[in-house]
Chains A and B, each alone.
Chain A
Amino acid sequence: MTAPAAEQVTVTIDGVAHQVPAGSLLIEAAQDNGTYIPRFCWHERMNPVGMCRMCLVEVQGPRGPMLVTACTNNVADGMVVDTRNDTVKKAQEGVLEFLLANHPLDCPVCDKGGECPLQDQAFSHGPGESRFVEIKRNYEKPIAISDLVLLDRERCILCARCTRFADEISGDPLIEFKSRANVTEVNTFPDLPFSSYFSGNTIQLCPVGALTAAQYRFRARPWDLQMVESSGLHDTAHPRLSVQVSQNEILRLVGVDNDATNHGWLSDKERFGFQYLGSEERLTTPLVRIDGELVETTWADALDRVAERIGLIRDADGGGTFAVIGGAHGTNEDAYALSKFARVVLGTNNIDARLDDALASHFLAATADRALISDVDTADTIVIWGPDLKEEHPTLYLRVRRAAQELGVRLVVVHPRATGLDDRAAIKLRYRPGGGFELLDEIADGKHSEVRQALSAARVVALVGQASFADGPKLAESVAAYVRNKAGSARILPLARRGNIFGALDMGLAPDLLPGRVADEEGGRTALATSWGDMPAERGKDTRSMLEGLDSAEIRFLLLVGADPVRDVPDPRQATLALESAEYVVSIDLFLNDSNRDADVIFPAAGFAEKEGTVTNLEGRVQKVNSIAPVPGQARPDWEILDDLAERAGYPIGLSNGEAIAKEISEVAPAYAGISWDLLEWEARDGAVVPLSGAQPLSHIPVALKGDKAPSAPLILHVARTLYDDGVMMRHSQSLHPLAPGAVAHLNPDDARKAGAQEGHLVKVVTKHGEGEFSAVSDEGTPPGVVYVPFNQPGAGSLGTEAVVRVTAVGK
C-alpha cells in the first residue's frame, strides 16, 4: 500500500531553485535540500506549532518581504525564501538572546551539555553576548515529576515539545503548561505524577536539559560515550535504538528514528530496562550441583558433565526423552544453534520457545497476508482483538494511535476491559473473558453490524492475539480468518510477546517448525538432512506437553534457555511440579530464577548488547543487533555454549562464529535466503523483511477454529500482562521494578461494593487452581462480572488458568 508520488513545486531558497514535494513544510523541504533552518519547537514526528520563533525566514509576499516561521508554512510554487539575510539573522539572534535571558548558566552541570540544541544554535546563530542584566527566573530545581523523570523549570525554554508528545503522541496528557506569560511553566497536575509508559521520550526530545532521566543524571558526558545501533527486544516490534556505553558499562539507550518501526520513540521499559545487564546478580561462572549445592566450576568441567549425561540418556532412551524450553530471548543465531542442537545433538523435536501462552506456531510464524507495521498508516480499518497494545506492544500502540488520530484510520477495539486506545477507537466492544467465540459468532450472525461494516472495508489490518488467559490460543486465528473473509484486502499481524520469539520460531524453535518457515514434516526434514544429517522423525511436544512429560518422567532431561516457566506460564502449578520432578535440568541463563535454581548445571549467558547477531520482529523484519558491552565474568553467547557442548557430546554442529551462523542460516533456512550481516549493515539499514523473494515454503491460511463457551458464573477472572511486572529482567532493573502494579485485583465499583471490598484494602481471590490476597482497585474500566488481575507481579500468588473466581474482602 504505497502512496502515489507527490507533485513537485519550485521553491527558491537563498537564491537557488529546488524542486520539492507540494504541501511539504518549508523547514523540512529546506532541510532535505541542504539548508538547515534553526529550530527548537519543531519536531519531525509531531505537528508544528510555530512557538519558539527560531525558524523565522523571510519570504517574498504580496506586500513585500515578511518574516514567517518555516515550520508552519507549506511550500508554494514560486516561493522565494531567504534564510540568511540580515533581517533573518537579526531575528535569529534576537530569539536566542530572549531564550538565554532567563536560561541559567548550568552548562557545566547540565546533562544536555554536548548534545544540546540550545548550545549548538547559540553558537551557530546567536549574538555571542547577552545584554540581559536583570535577575533571572528562579524555580526550585529539579523537581521529580515521576519516578523516572526530573524537571528543571529554569532551563525550560517552553517549546512545548514534551507536552505535545505526552498529549498527541502517547495519549498521556499528564504534563501541561501552567500559568501564563513570563511565569509559564511545565508541570504535572496536582497528585498526578507523569506516570506515562512513554515519559522517557520527553527527555530525549527536550532541546535543553530541562527534562533529565533520574537513572542517567550526572552519569556521563555525551563525548565520553561509545555507541552502537541496535534493536530493543522487550517489545516484539523491535524498536530501533542506540546503546551508549562508557567505561564498559551501558549508561543509557536512546531511540533512533526510522520509518519502519518506532519513529524514534521507545517505551520506558525499552529505554530503562537495560539495568539488569549490569546487575551484581548476573551469573558469571558455570555452576554445577554437588551434594545438593550449586558450586562454581570451570567451563570444561560443566560442559563435560552435561555432554556425558546427554550421551548416556540418548543411548539409553533416545531423543524423545529430551526437552528444550526457551530460546526466545537470544538472537537468531542463538536460536538457530539451539534448533540444530535439539535435532542433531539431542535427537528430538521437543522444543518450544513459546511458554504455553502464545498462538499456534504456524499462524505466528507464517500467516498468509502478514502485515507490516506501516500498513496501519494506510488502512481503512484497524481491528485490535488481543492484548492491550499499551501494555504489551508499546511501539504498535503509538503507531496505531497516530493512525487513528492523524491519518483518519477507523479503529475497532475488542477487549474484555478498557484499553489504552479506547479514546481513539471508533468502536469498542467488550466481552466476558472466555466468551470470545460467542462474540465472534454474534458478529458473523449479523449482530454488532457496525463492526461487520468496519471489517468489510477495502483495507483492513487485524492485530490479533490473546486478550486474556481465559481466551485460549485459537480465538485469534479465528478472528483473523473472519477478517480475511470480510475485508476487501486484509493484512494480519499475529501478536506474541517475549523478545525474539518471531526470530526463534523462524529458526524452528517449535515442535512443528524447522528453520526458515518450513513445517517439521517429512519434506522439510529430508531437505534439512542434507546439511544437518539425520533428523528425528518423532512428533515434537510443545511446552505444556513437555512439562507434563517431565512430571511423568517420560522426559528425563530438560534444557532451559532463558526461560522461567515456574513464573511465566499461565498455570505455574504444572511447571513447578515438573521442575521439581525433573531428573536432570540444564539451564543457560543470565540469572538464577525460580525455574533454574534447582537445576543440575547452569551456564552463564551473554545478554543484550553483549553479543552480535540478528533478530526478527513481528512483521518478519530482520534487523542487526550489535554488541558494545563486555560480558560479565565468563559468560558466553548461547550459540557458543551449544557448539562447545555439541562437540563434547560427540555430535558437532560446526558453528564457529556469529557471522558464519548467519551465513549458514541464509543457506539452510529457505525464508532467510539472501540475508547477511553485510546487507543489514549497509543497504538495509531499516532491516529486511523476510522472505526477500516474497515466497515462503509454509504459508498458513488462518482457519476458523471452534472454541469453548465462557463458563457462566457471577465473576470471571481476566488475567493479562502489564508492561512492568516481576519478570526476571524487570526484577533486576532497579528503576522499573518498583513501578510494577504488584498484587492488585481490579473490580468494577458495583462488584467491589458487593464483595465489601474497599479501594486499597486486601481481598482474597480464589479459583479452583489457586488463591491469593490482592489489593483491591475500584475500576470503572473493568466491566461488571469481571475481575482483572495482572499476571506475574511481585508479591502475587498464582491463580492458575481456571476462569471462575470468588472475591471476598479480607477483614481489615
Chain B
Amino acid sequence: METVSNLPHILAMGAEKYIELGHPLDTGTFMLSVSGHVKKPGNYELPHGITWRDLIFDVAGGIPNDRELKAIIPGGASSPWFVPQIHLDHQITKDMCAEAGSMLGSGAVIVMDDTTCMVRAAERIVRFFAHESCGQCTPCREGTTWMEMILRRIEEGQGRAIDLDLLLDVSDNISVGLDWPPKMTTICPLGPSAVSPVLALRDYFRDEVQEHVQRGGCWFPGARVMPQIKSGGRPPDPRSLVVAGAETSGRSSDSADGEVDRGKGFKA
C-alpha cells in the first residue's frame, strides 16, 4: 500500500525530482512508525538514507529522562535488533539493513533505553510469535513455545547456564544457520521470526542473560520475581492446560496488570 501511495506524488512532482529525494540506491521517501523510549513517538514520512541517530535523537526528539539508548528494533517484531555501538550511524535503507543482517521490513521501529531488560523484551516478542503461531508445522508450534518457556525461566530466576545455548540450538532447528532472511525448516517465516530477539541476546547481551542466571532473576525495574539466592532449581510454575471435557483453558495473553494467566488455578 505504501508503494501505491507514492504514485500520486511521483506523478505530481515528476520522477526526476522524486529521485533527488532519499538515497541513490533507495530513492524517495518512506514511512516509519517510531515507538518505545522516545519523546516524540509517531508516524513519520522520511527520506531514505536518514541515519538511526538522526531518526531517534532529532526526528523523534531523543530519549526521555536522559536515559541511554540500548537497542533498536528496526523493522517490526520479526527483524533482528540493532545496537547503538554498531548501527547508530548507519543509513536507513533497505539494503543497509539487509547487509547488517536485519531488514527494514514494516518500518515499525521500537526504541529501547537502558531501563529495558533485554531478556524480558526478548521473551515478550517470542511470546507474541508463539501465540500467533498457526500450529500447522512442528518446529514453530512446539519450538516457539519452548523458547518462550526458556526465556521466562531465565527472566524469573530459574535459568541455567546452558539455557542460552539451548535456546540457540532450538532456534537453529527452526531457522537453520540463524540468518536473516531465514533458511526455514518451517512452512512460513513466522517461526524464524521468533528467533530474531534471541540473536540479539547472543550477539549483544549474552552477559545480561548470564547475569540473570547468576543473580537468580531480573533486577530491572518492573521485574515480576525478585532475585533470590540461587537454590538450585525450583521448578517453574506449571503452565497448566488442564482441560475438562471439550474446553481448553488455553493460554490467554497478558491481562491488564501485567499478570500472565497460565491456566486455571495457577497464578505467577
Contacts and interface: CB of A to CB of B under 8 A. Distances in A.
A54 B185 CA distance: 9
Contacts of A149: none
A668 interface: no
Contacts of A99: 138, 142
Interface stretch (B10-18, B33-41, B55-63, B246-254): B246-254
A93 B138 CA distance: 12
Interface of B: 130-139, 141-146, 149-150, 153, 166, 169, 172-174, 176, 183-187, 235-236, 238-246, 248, 250-251
A50 interface: yes
A140 interface: yes
Interface of A: 49-54, 56, 66-67, 87, 90-91, 93-95, 97-99, 101-102, 131-132, 134-135, 137-140, 143, 153, 157-158, 160, 177-185, 187-188, 190
A199 to B, nearest CB: 17
11 contacts: A87-B176, A98-B138, A101-B142, A134-B149, A138-B240, A139-B241, A158-B141, A180-B135, A181-B132, A182-B141, A182-B251
A90 B173 CA distance: 7
Given A91-B176, A91-B185, A182-B135, A98 B143 contact: yes
Contacts of A93: 173
Contacts of B153: 134
B243 A95 contact: no
B266 to A, nearest CB: 10
Contact of A183 (B136, B139, B236, B248): B248
Contacts of A178: 248
A185 B130 contact: no
A156 to B, nearest CB: 11
A87 B176 CA distance: 9
A135 B236 contact: yes
B163 to A, nearest CB: 9
Contact of B187 (A51, A54, A160, A190): A51
Given A187-B246, A190-B246, A182 B187 contact: no
A91 B136 CA distance: 17
A137 B243 CA distance: 10
Given A180-B133, A181-B131, A53 B138 contact: yes
Nearest to B173: A94
Given A182-B133, A183-B251, A52 B241 contact: no
Contacts of A179: 135, 248, 250
Contacts of B240: 135, 138
Contacts of A134: 146, 149-150, 153, 236, 239
Given A101-B142, A140-B244, A95 B185 contact: yes
A701 to B, nearest CB: 54
A439 to B, nearest CB: 45
A98 B135 CA distance: 13
Nearest to A153: B243
Contact of B137 (A53, A91, A102): A53
Contacts of A132: 146
Contacts of B186: 53
Given A53-B187, A98-B142, 8 more contacts: A49-B136, A51-B137, A91-B173, A91-B185, A95-B173, A134-B239, A179-B135, A181-B145
Contacts of A153: 243
B241 A181 contact: no
Nearest to A93: B173
Contact of A181 (B133, B150, B176, B236): B133
A153 B132 CA distance: 21
A182 B142 contact: yes
Given A67-B176, A135-B238, A177 B243 contact: no
Given A98-B146, A157-B138, A143 B245 contact: yes
Contacts of A67: 176, 183-185
A157 B245 CA distance: 20
A182 B145 contact: yes
A574 to B, nearest CB: 50
- Most interface-central of B136, B169, B238, B245 (chain A CB within 10 A): B136
Contacts of B241: 137-139, 183
Nearest to A40: B138
Contact of B141 (A56, A94, A138, A184): A184
Nearest to B162: A131
Contacts of B242: 138-140
A66 B176 CA distance: 10
A53 B248 contact: no
A102 to B, nearest CB: 6
Given A135-B236, A137-B241, A179-B250, A95 B131 contact: no
A396 B131 CA distance: 43
A101 B146 contact: yes
Contact of A52 (B130, B137, B251): B137
B30 to A, nearest CB: 27
B184 A98 contact: no
A95 B138 contact: yes
Contacts of B244: 140
B141 A181 contact: yes
A102 B145 CA distance: 11
A95 B143 CA distance: 9
Contacts of B166: 131
Contacts of A87: 176
A140 B245 contact: yes
Task: Enumerate the 10 nearest inter-chain pairs by beta-carbon distance, A residue then B residue, closest first.
Answer: A94-B173, A184-B135, A98-B142, A182-B145, A181-B133, A134-B149, A139-B243, A51-B136, A98-B138, A181-B135
Contacts of A102: 142
